Chain A
Amino acid sequence: MSTTAPAASPATSGRQGLPTAEQSAALRRRNQGRSRVRSVVFHVISLAVVAVILYPAVWMFVSTLKPSSEIIGSVSIIPTDPSLANFTKALAGIAGVSFWQFFLNSLLLAVGSVVGITLSCSVSAYAFARIDFPGRGLFFTLMIGTLLLPFHVVIIPQYIVFNQLGLVGTYVPLLIGKFLAAEAFFVFLMVQFMRNLPRELDEAARIDGAGHVRIFTAIMLPLMKPALVTSSIFAFIWSWNDFFGPLIYLSSPDTFPLPLALRLFVDQTTVSDYGAQMAMAVLALLPVLLFFLVFQRYLVQGVATQGLKG
């Protein structure tokens, strides 16, 4: 969109009068040359930043193929004797629970989060964006307020209540908030998206006699697809990475999602087996990395629009 404005030097272009054809050709040539140099400089710097940024990730991947002694002792990025032994150890799991059980637990929590968040947040966002009722402004302010609220202030009473209800150790405390639109980020994202959809659509539908339920399901939801996709991907990844929630609510290893399993794995491999730890870390991260590779455009756009409309 915005090219770096070719800095026409005042000496050649002159503020009064247009430059002659000869002058402008020379200027163009000079700018072209300069732009090529700039392009090279841009790529050199960018690639250097990429190298620094991606180094830990690359290092993590190659480390899975090395024995632990070589991970710590050697600086070489290429393994001397690559082997998949670390993955065998990682897939065996920990505490009598196989890796796939942890994987399944994570999947269950993540899919539950996605379903809950898309349902509850889209419905609530519709109320904020399209229905006029008393109290809407106040509730909207409160909803934005919860974006800034540190979660610590609600976590203790929540824990106490779930404990008294006998739900600690189940997935209910981890999922109920997703079904009750408790993550304001998603509500906000969807409200902003819906506000940009043309009003004429629902007005026309209303004249035709459609109620809010019809308008929401038949008009809004299909148009909201990009916002729903972005939300779903974020909901999946955040649930997949969540550590604090499972840490306080779950205690039995066979219910652990991957982050907790990883922590257990690190704690129980007494002589730090970095190779196996890396392998498990990579396996735990794979779905997130795949999601990222496939959907990176949605993710980056989601962040950009969410930020701008603030």
Chain B
Amino acid sequence: MRRRRKAAETRAGYAFLAPWLLGFVLLTAGPMIASLYLAFTNYNLFTSPEWVGIENFQRLFQDPNYIQAWRVTALYALIGTPLKLVSALAVAMLLNNSRRGQGFYRSAFYAPSLIGASVSIAIVWKAMFIDNGIVDRAGQTLGLPAGGWVGDPGRTLPMLILLTIWQFGAPMVIFLAGLKQIPTELYEAASVDGAGPVRKFLRITLPMLSPVLFFNLLLETIHAFQIFASAFIISSGTGGPARSTLFYTLYLYFRGFRDFQMGYASAMAWVLVLVVGAISFVMFRTQNRWVHYSGESK
């Protein structure tokens, strides 16, 4: 009787999980295995794949465009993500009170996160930063050299980093939810002990917020590696000027879907998976050094 009941549960479980299971096998696990195989081949869609061993990987690291793609992507993630998180945290702390208008500000700050990656915003951004455009003119009054940001290889990355900082709303909302979980008694006790705002921030806010910080850092870093539409539109689909917006995704797109070098692009994809995997692994492993979980909040 018991066993029959259990078997029925198992059947029901798999039946309900069927959509996800099917999707996982057909759209994730299967393709991952296929792309691992393709990474060791030359394949152009039209003739059958030709096994070349690790040649693709060797070629990757001699390919100046590939090195450049890593340089651009890494700089973007390393500079953009921390700046975005710092702005998110600062604004979340500003909003963490029961004053009127809090709901309005929260929504207004969140809005760019929803539309920031859209083609519409990329077009607006481009028009704002173009030669003689509104940002250029404002910059000149502040003493910045004249000339558009869009055409200047030294300024395209800062322009895109500004775009990602502009979307600080999503991590901000998560920070805000985390701040609300911190018991006010902790701050009251610290006040009684004569702790100033800096001490309170370092000793209470940061440790109590560290799980949320960890979550935001992991998610935003992974997001940063996937930037595509804005870079594509702003560089008119070229990764230029002077390869300054040749992000990893852009270069993968060029190799795979413009030049149909599916093997080469698969090798690129796998290196990215390994790097993102390594970053996540290191973050999870070093967690217990700086992430503080209290009680059962995990």
Binding site for B on A (CB under 8 A): 1-5, 7-8, 10, 15, 39, 42-43, 45-46, 49-50, 53-54, 56-57, 59-60, 63, 71-73, 75, 119-121, 123-124, 126-128, 131-134, 136, 139, 142-143, 146, 148-161, 163, 176-177, 179-182, 187, 211-212, 216, 237, 241, 243-244, 247-248, 258-259, 262-263, 266-267, 274, 277-278, 281-282, 284-285, 288-289, 292, 296-297, 299-300, 303-308, 310
Contacts and interface: CB of A to CB of B under 8 A. Distances in A.
Contacts of A50: 105, 108-109
- Candidate in A152, A262, A297 with the most chain B CB atoms within 10 angstroms: A152
Contacts of A7: 191
Contacts of B128: 56, 59
A1 B98 contact: yes
Interface in B217-253: 218, 222, 225-226, 228-229, 232-233, 236-237, 248-249, 252-253
B272 A150 contact: yes
> What secondary structure prevails in chain B residues at the interface with A?
helix
> What secondary structure prevails in chain A residues at the interface with B?
helix
B291 to A, nearest CB: 11
A182 B276 CA distance: 20
Interface stretch (B12-20, B60-68, B74-82): B12-20
Interface stretch (B50-58, B153-161, B181-189): B181-189
Contact of B19 (A59, A158, A180, A306): A180
A8 B188 CA distance: 9
Contacts of B24: 139, 142-143, 146, 182
B174 A307 contact: yes
B265 to A, nearest CB: 6
B287 interface: no
A262 B191 CA distance: 55
Contacts of A60: 120, 124
A73 B133 CA distance: 7
B194 to A, nearest CB: 6
B208 interface: no
B82 to A, nearest CB: 18
A193 B182 CA distance: 22
Contacts of A126: 16
Interface string B33-59: 011001000000100000000000000
